[in-house]
Structure 1
Amino acid sequence: MAKEAADLTTIDLFVDEKRPGRPRTNPFPREVQVKINKRNQVKRDKNKGLKRVEFKIHHQLFEQLDEMAQDQGISRSELIENILTQALQEDA
């Protein structure tokens, strides 16, 4: 009797074969994991006093901000926050 890879009735024939990939460590599907992780991130940010702000900017400005942030060794988010803080202090 030949063993067929898709044959689940003779699964005992495949006991010694290693399956590719690492074993699952989380019982939830990936979509649920992403939602849980995002919810936890929002909670952490809220506890730190952070608020999410989303806006669209031109690609060239985005590249400039990215380059400035890398030059200063900070994240793009930190750079934008610094720029906004400086602008608000100058207006005051």
Structure 2
Amino acid sequence: MAKEVADLTTIDLFSDEKRPGRPKTNPHSRSVQVKINKRNQVKRDKSNGLKRVEFKVHTSVFERLEALAKDKGMSRSELIELLLTQSLAPDNIKV
């Protein structure tokens, strides 16, 4: 029996053929790659003098931050840093 490329009923005849597609270039699984990339990002941020801060805000505040950041053409992170820097200026601090 001759094997036809379009023949899907005899798929076992094609089991030894390489399938087209992007070759695997990394020996690690995707989850391990994500962990490695995150670790490298943290190292880069640390060497750039950045520190991670995490906090929770109400959805309405989040949406306002998103809209304002989009209007100003910056990321939400950059906007929050700008707002904090402005509010921590010596002339704005009232304790």
3-state DSSP of counterpart to 1:53 = coil
Q: CA deviation at 1:23?
A: 1.6
Give the corresponding residue for 1:25: 25
Alignment deviations for residues 1-56 of structure 1 (CA, whole Å, 9 cap, x no partner): 89554x8xx85xx32xx526422111100111001000000000001000000001
Identity of aligned residues (%): 61
Give the corresponding residue for 2:41: 41
TM-score (norm. length: structure 2)? 0.77
CA distance in 2, matches of 1:23, 1:51: 37
Aligned residues: 85
| Structure 2 unaligned regions, length at least 5 | 2-8
CA distance in 2, matches of 1:19, 1:33: 24
Q: RMSD in angstroms over aligned alpha carbons?
A: 2.3
Q: CA deviation at 1:75?
A: 0.6
| Structure 1 unaligned regions, length at least 5 | none
CA distance in 2, matches of 1:52, 1:36: 17
Give the corresponding residue for 2:67: 67
Q: Larger deviation: 44-53 or 23-32?
A: 23-32
